[in-house]
């Protein structure tokens, strides 16, 4: 019912920047919190940053001051601006959204939805 489409990943040198985007589509009634997670090879998925529908944000300690999460509610899109990238930021980055959908004219949920993931590689 809901699709999350990510873009913006790639290969960048240490100290460089990337901007990730996540666009939600489908029969959306409302989107509550959204967040970015990442998973390095052989490791568990971890929260990078999250943002509520009202704009309140939370960051993992190791990205504070370097990453900025934002959202455009009119476009159902979330962003992650990543500056001063380090090799340890290398991971697959996933978009997450807590969404109420509309089915047969009635709000359903909310449920968590996930994007496909986008690879971020930071070289030294």
Q: pLDDT tens digits for the chain (124 residues)?
A: 899 999 999 999 999 999 999 999 999 999 999 999 999 999 999 999 999 999 999 999 999 999 999 999 999 999 999 999 999 999 999 999 999 999 999 999 999 999 999 999 999 9
Six token digits for residue 20? 């990730």
Q: Are 2 and 28 in contact (CB under 8 A)?
A: yes
Which of 113, 116, 22 lies closest to 69 in space, CA to CA?
Answer: 22
């Amino acid at each position: 019912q809901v699709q999350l489409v990510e873009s913006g990943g790639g290969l960048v040198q240490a100290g460089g920047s990337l901007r990730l985007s996540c666009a939600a589509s489908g029969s959306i009634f409302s989107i509550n919190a959204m967040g970015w997670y990442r998973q390095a090879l052989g490791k568990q998925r971890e929260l990078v940053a999250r943002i509520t529908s009202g704009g309140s944000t939370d960051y993992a300690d190791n990205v504070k001051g370097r990453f900025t999460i934002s959202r455009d509610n009119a476009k159902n899109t979330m962003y992650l601006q990543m500056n001063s990238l380090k090799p340890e930021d290398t991971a697959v980055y996933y978009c997450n959204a807590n969404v109420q959908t509309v089915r047969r004219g009635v709000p359903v949920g909310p449920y968590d939805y996930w994007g496909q993931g986008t690879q971020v590689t930071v070289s030294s």
